[in-house]
Homo-oligomer: A and B are copies of this chain.
Amino acid sequence: MATVNTTARVTMADVAQAAGVSVATVSKVVNNKDGISPARTAHVRRIIDEMGYAASLGAQSLRSRSTGVLGMLVAEFEPFSTELLKGASRAIKATEYELLAYSGRSHSAPEDGWERRHLARLSGALIDGAVIVTPSGTETIFPVPVVAIDPHLDTDALPTVRCNSYDGAFQATSYLAELGHTKIGYLGGRSDLKSSQERELGYRDALLNAGIAVNDAYIGQGDYLPEASQAPAREILSREDRPTAIFAANDLSAIEVIKVAEELGLNVPRDLSVIGFDNVPEAALFRIPLTTMAQPLGEMGEIALNMLAKIISGEEVETQVLLPVELVVRDSCAPPQHRAQ
């Protein structure tokens, strides 16, 4: 049975009444302001504990413009963002802050600067600053200090931590070429993100570098999303002259590529090599462990959070952090099979 058993919230007024003091006094005790006698302080504190009182974050921030909580804004809690979150959570222990992760209803307006809305909703109330994961808007100033992870913009206007996507894509594609592949496809990510653009560039340059002509029919776009990757993957792989290898812009779409390939009767890696990007746990856990370009996700989350904390406290920090990626070889790539022309 669904019994909704709820108590009334205990407010500061309740505490004040129980303690026989004014709310102002309680407030001062709560916030460790001085000007309250030790005796009263102790008394009020006991009542607070007894009643299990904790200041309402909403009301508190409404008035004081500072809450001691940092936000992590994501479009969704998927493998990429949760790895970042783990890192941020690790980093926050060394600070005085609490961590609040927020994922609004981005499913309504897909790529439309959701972070702006989230931020507007949470800042100036609730959070003192935020790290935003893959923001898609063009905004660069917000109501609170912000650091972005893997942002949209081709600008230094926002403190940012990201990985070298160009280099990673170049490495991944070159790896495929070195394996002997010449027909190498690319399934791109969200075209509004800089990371995605860089990955495509790295892919193209690696091809050129290997003396392979770029074939646009081998290029699709999956928006970094499994759902969106299926159709383009199917299209590329259904061609008579299909590629023998595909570099996918992130692991989740790489996995989707493999699924589509198998539906089409292809064996991975025998008939098709697939390499991903990110190295989320799901990549290693997949039935066919995925070869991928690893980003130090946890570290990125940590760095971003530390950066944010420093920025808020007015410290000087390097605001553009670029981390290296690393090839992780697993089972999804192999030299191409010899096929009849």
Contact = CB atoms under 8 A, between A and B. Distances in A.
Contacts of A319: 1-3
A320 to B, nearest CB: 10
Interface residues of A, number: 74
Contact of A9 (B5, B107, B120): B120
A312 B77 CA distance: 22
Interface string A154-176: 00010100000000000000000
A316 B2 contact: yes
Interface stretch (A34-42, A85-93, A233-241, A251-259): A85-93
Contact of A54 (B52, B98, B120, B314): B120
Nearest to A101: B101
Contacts of A310: 2
A9 B79 contact: no
Contact of A140 (B5, B118, B125, B157): B5
Interface stretch (A56-64, A202-210, A216-224): A56-64
Nearest to A55: B121
Contact of A120 (B53, B62, B96, B157): B53
B57 A317 contact: no
Contacts of A311: 2, 4
Contacts of A335: none
A50 interface: no
Given A76-B89, A144-B6, A124 B56 contact: yes
Interface string A16-50: 00000000000000000000000000000000000
Contacts of A52: 113, 116-117, 120, 139
Given A6-B145, A93-B107, 9 more contacts: A1-B319, A2-B311, A4-B145, A54-B120, A77-B89, A92-B103, A98-B102, A101-B102, A126-B126
Interface of A: 1-10, 52-59, 61-62, 76-79, 82, 85-86, 88-89, 92-93, 96-105, 107, 113, 116-118, 120-126, 139-145, 157, 159, 281-282, 284-285, 310-312, 314-317, 319
